[in-house]
Amino acid sequence: MYRHEFDVLWTEQSKYHPELTDQHKKILKNIIFTQRPLKSQEDKVGFCKYFPEERKIPKSHPLAQEFIILGYLNNLTVFRDGTKKKTEIRNIADIFGDNLEKKL
């Protein structure tokens, strides 16, 4: 979608600016839409306190994010009719679980 928009804008603007050549387009498109390879962050992840020979899962990993989200959901307190009620994870997972799995 962005590439198509870039092409449309470039085509239209090149009518009015002859210095916008195909070579410039190729260079600029490469700069904008090419991502450099990501560096490994393995050395920044600590070791598990229960299994010291294994590394922890990075916070950016989908399983870690799901664990964090479910932890927040499990700690929710719902106020209904002026009463405070602690929610249980199975109830919250029933409500949000399918949606969370689709997004994660």
Q: Where are the domains of the chain?
A: 2-33, 57-103
pLDDT in tens, 38-78: 787 778 889 999 999 999 988 888 888 888 887 887 777 77
Cβ contact 92:74 at 8 Å: yes
- In the three-class reduction of DSSP (H, G, I as helix; E, B as strand; rest coil), residue 51 is classed as coil
DSSP class per residue in 56-84 = PPPTTSHHHHHHHHHHHHHT-EEEETTEE
Going by pLDDT thresholds of 50, 70 and 90, the confidence category of residue 104 is very low
Most confident range (mean pLDDT) of 11-15, 63-67, 92-96 is 11-15
In one-letter notation, the amino acid at residue 96 is F
Q: pTM value?
A: 0.43
Give 55's contacts (C-beta < 8 A, 6+ positions apart): 42, 45, 46, 47, 48
- In the three-class reduction of DSSP (H, G, I as helix; E, B as strand; rest coil), residue 47 is classed as strand
